[in-house]
Amino acid sequence: MSLFLRDYLTVVWFGLAAILLAGLLLGVAAAVRPSRPSKEKLIAYESGVDPVGMGWSQSQIRYYVFALLFVIFDVEAVFIFPWATAVERYGWFGLITMLIFIVLLLDGLVYAWKRGLLRWV
């Protein structure tokens, strides 16, 4: 196994240990706690009154707009991080290219702003 992967193997073990710990906590709790479910207990909580309709109700479209906008900046981060670690190596060419790239992406945000999408009513 390469050195690169060996380093990550430690993370895998650590992750497994964390899963094991969480499982252990749940297992111990399952062994010692009482279990007396009744019909009323299993109703979804809605401030004490009987729930109306489905729990999986529709949510507002606005959330979807913000998720889309987030993609802009996530893509931006993907390109910015590697460049930021080696700014000097790419020189002026890299800086100007990055400026154009960022301003273009920023345009997306400004456009969304202009169209009033960032307004939370």
Partner 1 sequence: MNLMVASLLAVDPLLDTDKWWWKVLAIVAAKVLAIFVIGLIGTMLMVWFERKIVSGMQNRIGPNKAGPFGILQTLADGMKLFFKEDLLPDKADKWVFRVAPFLAFVPAFLLWSVIPLGGDFTDGKDGTVTWFGETTRVQLIDPPVGILIVLALSSIGVYGIMLAGWASGSKYPLLGSVRATAQMISYEAALGLSLGAVLLMSGTLSTSGIVGGQDGIGNWNIVATGFIPFVIFMIAMTAELSRPPFDLVEAEQELVGGFNTEYSSIRFGLFFLAEFMNVITMSAIIVTLFLGGPQPLTLGGVDMLGFAGPFGGTLWVILKTLAFLYTYVWFRATLPRLRYDQLMDFGWKLLIPAALGWFLVLAALQMTRDKYDGLGPVLLAAALGVAVLFVAYLLFNAALVVSKRNREREGVAY
Q: Which of residues 26-45 bind partner 1 (CB under 8 A)?
A: 26, 28-30, 32-37, 41-45
Q: Is the dihedral of CA 92, 96, 102, 106 positive or negative?
A: positive
**CA–CA separation, 81 and 85 (whole Å):** 6
Among 97, 100, 103, 104, binds partner 1 (CB under 8 A): 103
Closest contact distance (angstroms) between CB of 72 and partner 1 is 8
Q: Residue 75 corresponds to which amino acid?
A: V
CA distances (Å), 107 to each of 73, 90, 99, 111, 113, in order? 12, 24, 12, 6, 9
Site string for partner 1, 53-92 (x = CB under 8 A): -xxxx-x---x--xx-xx--xx-xx--xx--xxxxx--xx
Q: How far is the CB of 49 from partner 1 (least distance, A)?
A: 12
22 binds partner 1 (CB under 8 A): yes
